[in-house]
Amino acid sequence: MFQKSPSVPTEGLFCLQIKNGRFFKGSTATVMGSSFITQTDFDLLLDLQQVSRKIGRTPVHAVRQVFSKPRVQVFAKMEWAQLSGSVKARAAFNIIYSAIQNGLLHRGKTLLDATSGNTGIAYAAIGKELGIRVALCLPENASAERKEILKSLGAEIIYTSKFEGTDGAQQVALELATRRPDLYYYADQYKNEHNWKAHYHHTSQEIIQAFPQITHFVCGLGTTGTFVGTGKRLKELSRKIQLTALQPDSALHGMEGWKHLETAIVPGIYDEYLADTVEEIDTLEAYEMIKDAKKHEGILLSPSAAANLVGAIKVAQKLDSGTVVTVFADNADKYGDVIKRLF
């Protein structure tokens, strides 16, 4: 057995503690608790601390060119500026952290989940740093860039039907996890409460610290974790903050990762009563915004990030005054096919 150091600094997104051989979030800057943990567990704890420093605290982009109106401001969190290059790093880390804390995941078990790409990349990037194996059920029509990134990170890819999307991938993942519980920890991001809680505890706090004057939060629906977690906490802080959920205007759309809830499996973590309003976004609008944002704002957005910007502007156009905040889930690095068609 390895006797732990009496004090290990934790300056990242989460403060980690050890009690009775388990990992916990804490409010102090030292690791406290039981006298002994294994060397392997202690090493994993230190690795978690290092990874946590690479999650969150993303910069903000002030939208000034594609939209301008007196007394109305639009801002967006640039979520690609963290490990794995997307907003999904937040949920993936919290899911992994919580699974390790509860003894469900360790270096002898494989993390399994369904993904359209970004959460899978986040799992794989974090798993690589922690020495944890990752297996992903991925629709076969995911972009070539996403497939190559996942392979480069060492993830096992289990391809699923392109016609069934992430709904079909979830079914395959569940079947695998049910058959081999000894081999897999099934993360189940669409039902895992630690998905939305990552945004409840952190994304919302970053937003409110940067914009205490926020009046509206606008966000697309995929797993729904970003909208649900951020929205819940913002509403607790001020009932006056208005929440607008965005979804595609049809089941066939080009916003990878988004769900048309009327025709898809509704994620278990979704709160249908949380949104004050729901706006539908057309794929062509999002694609036009990709071009406009590059030309006028100097940023190359992913389709879903551009769709969030379209939605935020729609909300802002109706206001006489206010501060609208959204998130840019990722940039265009993983969408070569779309970008080639647009430029």
Say if residue 118 is in the same domain as residue 137: yes
Domain tally, the chain: 3
- Give burial (CB, 10 Å; 0-12/13-18/19+) of 286: buried
pTM over 0.85: yes
Question: How far is it, in rounded angstroms, from Cα 161 to Cα 165?
Answer: 7
In this structure, are 16 and 143 located in the same domain?
no
pLDDT class for 45, splitting at 50, 70, 90? confident
pLDDT score recorded for residue 3? 31
Q: What is the mean pLDDT of residues 164-192?
A: 95
Last residue of a domain, one of 135, 168, 186: 186
Closest among 83, 144, 171, 158 to 119, alpha carbons compared:
83
Q: Does 251 lie in the same domain as 107? A: no
Residues 67 and 94 in one domain: no
Q: What is the rounded (10 degree) CA torsion for 335, 164, 286, 214? A: -100
Question: What confidence tens digit (pLDDT) does each residue in 86-114 have?
Answer: 999 999 999 999 999 888 999 999 999 99
In this structure, are 201 and 74 located in the same domain? yes
Confidence of residue 32 (pLDDT cuts 50, 70, 90): very low
Do residues 81 and 93 both lie within one domain? no
> Which pLDDT tens digit goes with each residue over 260-271?
999 998 999 999
- Whether residues 332 and 304 share a domain: the answer is yes
User: Looking at per-residue confidence, does 81 or 102 come out higher?
Assistant: 81
Task: Answer yes or no: do 334 and 237 share one domain.
Answer: yes
- What's the mean pLDDT in 4-17? 38
Whether 133 and 273 map to the same domain: the answer is: no
Q: Which range marks the domain in which residue 111 is found?
A: 88-186
User: Who wins on pLDDT, 3 or 141?
Assistant: 141
Tokens standing for residue 268: 């278990």
Q: DSSP character for 332?
A: G
Whether 215 and 330 map to the same domain: the answer is yes
CATH number where 325 lies? 3.40.50.1100
265: DSSP letter: P
pLDDT band of 37, cuts 50, 70, 90: low
Confidence of residue 144 (pLDDT cuts 50, 70, 90): confident
Q: Apex CA 196: angle with CA 249 and CA 13, to 5°? A: 130
243 with 323, same domain: the answer is yes
270 plus 243 within the same structural domain: yes
Q: Where do the DSSP E strands lie in 22-123? A: 22-25, 36-37, 60-63, 72-78, 110-114
Angle at 30 between CA 28 and CA 33, to 5 degrees: 100
Nearest to 139 by CA among 156, 116, 121, 120: 116
Mean predicted confidence (pLDDT) in 297-322: 98
